[in-house]
Amino acid sequence: MDLTPEEQEMLDGKFGKAAKKSMEILTTLGEIFEADSMVKVYGVQVAGVSYANLGEAGLEFLNELAEDGKVRVLTTLNPAGMDRENWQALGIDADFVKNQNRVIDAFAKMGIITTCSCTPYLIGNTPHYGEHIAWAESSAVCYANSVIGARTNREGGPSALASAITGKTPNYGYHKDSNRHGEILFKIKTNVTGTDQFGVLGKLIGNKLVEIGKKVPYIAGISDASVEELKAFCASIATYGGVALFHMERITPEWNEYSKPNESSVEISKEDMLKARSELIDDFSEIDFVSIGCPHATINEIATIATLLRGKKVKKEFWITTARPTKKLADNAGYSKIIEDAGAKFAADTCCVVAPIKERFKGMMVDSAKACYYGRAKNNFKVRIGNLEECVEEAIK
Ligand code: F3S
């Protein structure tokens, strides 16, 4: 790899131990993927924040970097294992809280903004079109590449952190024009609307891509998609298909930038959607947990929940998972009071997947196909997908 004099000095240790270690991680990655050089990144989003996933070994690695490591670019974190302000109401164990705080303190020492969200693009870590970034959360990576037109590979926790400390990432994969072409055309022959349906579509296309061994779909036939629907779609297609970039005709910014794939297309019908949806509904009767906000809820979604809950009482555990800055907006707008008066709970900077709640509930209802996947795989919950209104209805019935 061609390194600039400054990059070489980082590698040689002239900028300290953490910068040296970080440059070692990045050059090794660059050599594996045959990158020719490094590119400068605008911002970083680091995953691997929950103590439940990191453990003591991960914490030791962080503390080592934090001895002299400081981030050079805007850096935010993925959701943590708990809401630092509301953990008691969410039933999180005090020992876990202590350890989770040690993790966040190590990140803070490096100058990282300790807002923990999988939607950094909603809270100020917002790259523009064509900008290089190094993000680690799969749903956000897919959103940044596809919906914003920024450029990132799907980083691991250590490589993202290394980019934060050096301000660089190896130039390969989705940083290069040549890898951003659509590979296969999907024609959507049915109306798709709502976060739940966009999640179902993401699962359908994601499963198909795994089957045929392709990574970059070009999707035609969607007439309209909101930020909320696109974030649900990104989370789902990344979960079920490992997708980090898609193009959606007339919706995403690069749809017309590269040639349309001329390989045979795949059609998605109403029946395909119904079948995929049925796979996200387990055969069971008891729902004792409802969670909205995977990926983290927007202020718009919170406003809708407040409207639906006004003057009502929830009868089941109901979490709204969101970024703390979005929660603060909801506080100011008066939505939080309505929601909390109804007995629902905010889980800020965490979520129903990364919080340590394995087997605490029997059945979970969500509007997110991604949450269905991890609710089953990680927490052993039975799951049911529904739209936002159906989820709120389930919580109060
Ligand atoms: Fe975000 Fe947690 Fe879903 S990290 S994408 S809310 S699983």
Which of 354, 358, 367, 383 for a ligand 1 pocket mutation test, highest count of atoms within 8 Å of Cβ? 354
Q: In whole angstroms, give the CA distance from residue 59 to residue 175.
A: 30
Nearest residue (by CA) to ligand 1, atom 3, is 294
Q: In whole angstroms, give the CA distance from residue 202 to residue 371.
A: 13
Reference 233, options 210, 206, 255; nearest CA is: 206
One-letter amino acid identity for 357? I
Instruction: Give the tens place of pLDDT for each residue, 105-124.
Output: 999 999 999 999 999 999 99
Instruction: Give the tens place of pLDDT for each residue, 309-333.
Output: 999 999 999 999 999 999 999 999 9
Return the ligand 1 atom nearest residue 321 CA. Answer: 6
Q: In whole angstroms, give the CA distance from residue 182 to residue 206.
A: 14
Residue 263 has pLDDT above 70, yes or no: no
350: helix, strand or coil: coil
For range 231-254, the mean pLDDT: 98
**Between vectors from CA 230 to CA 53 and to CA 237, what angle results, nearest 5°?**
55
Q: What are phi and psi of 185, to 5 degrees?
A: -90, 130
**Could you give the percent of the chain with pLDDT greater than 70?**
100
Return the ligand 1 atom nearest residue 79 CA. Answer: 4
Reference 65, options 27, 21, 105; nearest CA is: 21
Return the ligand 1 atom nearest residue 295 CA. Answer: 5
Instruction: Give the tens place of pLDDT for each residue, 149-180.
Output: 999 999 999 999 999 999 999 999 999 999 99
Instruction: Give the tens place of pLDDT for each residue, 267-281.
Output: 999 999 999 999 999
Q: Where is average pLDDT lowest: 254-263, 284-293, 345-354? A: 254-263
Strands (DSSP E) found in the chain: 38-40, 43-46, 74-77, 134-135, 168-170, 184-188, 217-220, 247-248, 266-268, 289-292, 317-322, 345-348, 363-366, 382-385
Residue 234 has pLDDT above 80, yes or no: yes
Residue 377 has pLDDT above 80, yes or no: yes
Q: In whole angstroms, give the CA distance from residue 371 to residue 382.
A: 11
Q: How far apart are the first and last CA of the chain?
A: 61
Nearest residue (by CA) to ligand 1, atom 6, is 294
Average pLDDT, the chain: 97
